[in-house]
Chain A
Amino acid sequence: MKRKILLTAGLVTASALAAHAADTPVTLESLKSDIANTLLTANNVWMMVCAALVFMMHLGFASVESGFTQSKNTVNILFKNTAIVAIGILTYTICGFNLMYPGDAGAGLMFPPFGLDNFGISNPANGDTVEYYNGSYTYYTDFLFQAMFAATAATIVSGAVAERIKLGPFLIFSTLFVGISYPITGFWKWGGGWLDAAGFYDFAGSTIVHGVGGWGALVGAILLGPRIGKYGKNGEIRPILGHNMPLATIGVFLLWLGWFGFNGGSVLSADPGATSLTLVTTNLAAAAGVISSMVTTWVLFKKPDLGMVLNGALAGLVGITAGADQMSAMDAVIIGLVAGVLVVFSVRFFDKIKIDDPVGAISVHLVCGIWGTLAVAFFGAKSTVDGQFMAQIKGIASVGLFSVIFAFVVFMILKITVGIRVSEAEETEGLDIGEHGAHSYPTFTKSNA
């Protein structure tokens, strides 16, 4: 296998040289430029693969969320997940990308500079060349990869508010959340804003993506209140069973696979050492999350719980995301182990305090996102940096505060004006009929003939 790759690489270089040789003589400078261009091609391919992998995570979210909810709400869940991908990519095109990445003009700022000419995307003169970003990717690849990321933040909210939120208001919320809130907090760190200057570190978004989505999910779940039937007359917890555990499991596997791109692509090049390390830490944390959540449920509930273990895998993945390129293999295992335990107690905790989250999105993305962000200061290469812990706290708190206020204001305005929750009758009958007039499984009924 190795020899074949070498041979292919040789051919690529040779053909590049041949093309060159036709018009100009080969010089040291031309060779350097050829090698840089070849590297750009290799880097760019990896980044496009990663963009595709992150896109596929939306299928993962759609599967997990429909699996963990009731069959009478499946059309609605799938509809939301489909619409969010489209909304995410389009709003990111209209304003999100330029809001989040204003370039040098935004260095160290709180609010990204944004003018009328920042609407829409357009390939700059050097957009397809090595000058655009150290030969790592082209402008359009940059945009696409970041656009795929953006939509995930809103998808996280979808799971927590499932089975009771009105479709229209949810779509309005998602548009504003992905189009404005996510890019602003994203700019603070990844766009070179004030958090970046403050030393905050978040490699692939434990806080910037998962935390943001988690905070939105928390606000939404609180403002909506629990689903009908989740709590008995005396406040006792009555589980509302998800209708399809195979679907939930497929979803988790898809998300896990997608994380190869989510973290792997966040290296922002195909740098061999960094990408390999990142994929290893990412997978180790997921595996550790599975094992620790399994042991935790086995001890606590006397039986190993699949639903919790699925959350455990995601918990490990979210946990490692902030420092996936900074950790050793052992660090990654520890971070995953802690996340897997944390998620089980967190799901139980939110159930007890009557914040109803059908899929465990708040526990997975918010709680483990916070843990992963803090872990950067405890483990790995950044743990020796002075003031890293305070920088991490600053990041978690500021991004959290902004996201909570934004989500609260938008949800409250929607709640007061059009209402955010479906009627009791609609919720009981299911949102599939109420919101869409359709069944997800029309042949389930016995009187089908």
Chain B
Amino acid sequence: MKLIIAIIKPQYLDAVKDDLKANDIRRLTIMEVQGYGEQLGHQELYRGQEFAVNLTPKLQLEIACNDEFVDKIVASICSGAKTSPEGAIGDGKIFILDLQEAIKIRTGEKGPSAI
């Protein structure tokens, strides 16, 4: 079992959802997050004064899955969240973690079948 965590641009959530659905992936949790990467945010202008905006709003996606689904999910997120064919700075990142256990609250079921 794996936990896939992806940080994407908020505007691309619909595209990611469409691609997940097209690959028959029907689980998703999202969170509104803020952060910065290598570029340390960007510059904005207010009444003629430039200032740095460090924390950019992003969405964090989390999907728990069985191992055989990982490739399909990663492909869906990549195709949906990529802003252009060549991609751009700030398109986001995907992290994959080993998942120790999954439990279905309703039935108490455990392990791969609980996902």
**Smallest CB gap from B49: residue in A:** A239
Docked-complex contact A348 and B46, CB < 8 angstroms: no
Asked if residues A301 and B48 are in contact (CB atoms below 8 Å), the reply is yes
A118 at the binding interface (Cβ < 8 Å): no
Nearest residue in B to A306 (C-beta to C-beta)?
B47
The A-contacting residues of B in range 29-63, CB under 8 angstroms, are: 45-51
- List of A residues within 8 angstroms of B49 by Cβ: 237-239, 348, 351
Contact with A along B14-28 (1 / 0, CB 8 A): 000000000000000
Residues on A with beta carbons closer than 8 Å to the beta carbon of B51? 238-239
Q: How many Å lie between the Cα of A348 and that of B48 in the bound state? A: 7
Interface of B is mostly: strand
- Chain B residues within 8 Å of A242, by CB: 46
CB-based contact A344/B46 at 8 Å: no
Nearest-Cβ distance from residue B42 to partner chain A, whole angstroms: 13
> Please, how many angstroms separate the alpha-carbon atoms of A66 and B47 in the complex?
16
Does A307 touch B at the CB level, under 8 Å? yes
Closest to A310 in B: B47
Interface centre among B45, B46, B48 (most CB of A within 10 A): B48
| A348–B45 CA distance with the chains assembled, in angstroms | 13
In the complex, the chain A residue whose C-beta lies closest to that of B32 is A446
Name the interface size band of chain B.
under 10
CA distance A308 to B50 in the complex (A): 14
Which of chain B's residues have a CB closer than 8 A to the CB of A237?
Answer: 49
* Contact code string A287-303 (vs B, CB < 8 Å = 1, else 0): 00000000001001101
Residue of A nearest to B51 (CB): A239
Q: Indicate if the CB atoms of A297 and B48 lie closer than 8 Å.
A: yes
Report the nearest B residue to A351, measured CB to CB. B49
A residues 380-422 touching B (CB-CB < 8 Å): none
Q: Nearest-CB distance from A357 to chain B (Å)? A: 10
Within 8 A of B (CB), among A319-374: 344, 347-348, 351, 360
Per-residue CB contact flags for chain A residues 270-304 toward chain B (1 = under 8 Å, else 0) read 00000000000000000000000000010011010
The docked-state distance in angstroms from the alpha carbon of A347 to that of B49 is 10
CA distance A344 to B47 in the complex (A): 8
Residues of B within 8 Å of A239, CB to CB, are 46-47, 49, 51
In the complex, residue of chain A having the shortest beta-carbon distance to the beta carbon of B46: A239
B48 touches A300 (CB 8 A): yes
Chain B residues with Cβ below 8 Å from A351 are 48-49
**Is there an interface contact between A347 and B47, defined as CB atoms closer than 8 Å?**
yes
Name the residue of chain B whose CB is nearest to the CB of A345: B48
Q: Which of B55-82 contact A (CB under 8 A)?
A: none
* Smallest beta-carbon distance B113→chain A, Å: 34
**A241: interface (CB < 8 Å):** yes
Residues of B within 8 A of A300 (CB): 48
Residue of B nearest to A297 (CB): B48
Q: Is A305 an interface residue (CB 8 A)?
A: yes
State A84–B114 Cα separation when bound (angstroms).
Answer: 65
Q: Which of A303, A344, A347, A360 contacts B45 (CB 8 A)?
A: A303
Which residues of chain A are within 8 angstroms of B47 by Cβ–Cβ distance? 239, 305, 307-308, 347, 360
Instruction: Select from chain B the residue with minimum beta-carbon distance to A238.
Output: B51
CA distance A348 to B51 in the complex (A): 14
Chain A residues 212-255 with CB under 8 Å of chain B are 237-239, 241-242
Which chain A residues border B50 with CB–CB below 8 Å? 301
Distance to closest chain B CB from A347 (angstroms): 6
Alpha-carbon distance between A344 and B45 when the two chains are bound, in angstroms: 14
13 residue pairs of the A-B complex, CB under 8 angstroms, read A242-B46, A297-B48, A303-B45, A305-B45, A305-B46, A305-B47, A307-B46, A307-B47, A308-B48, A344-B48, A347-B47, A351-B48, A351-B49
**A contact residues vs B (CB 8 Å cutoff):** 237-239, 241-242, 297, 300-301, 303, 305, 307-308, 344, 347-348, 351, 360
| B interface with A by C-beta (< 8 Å) | 45-51
Which are the 9 A-B pairs with shortest beta-carbon distances? A239-B46, A307-B47, A239-B49, A237-B49, A239-B51, A348-B48, A241-B46, A301-B48, A303-B45
**Beyond A239-B46, A239-B49, A239-B51, 10 extra complex contacts between A and B, CB < 8 Å:** A241-B46, A300-B48, A301-B45, A301-B50, A305-B45, A305-B47, A308-B47, A348-B48, A351-B48, A360-B47
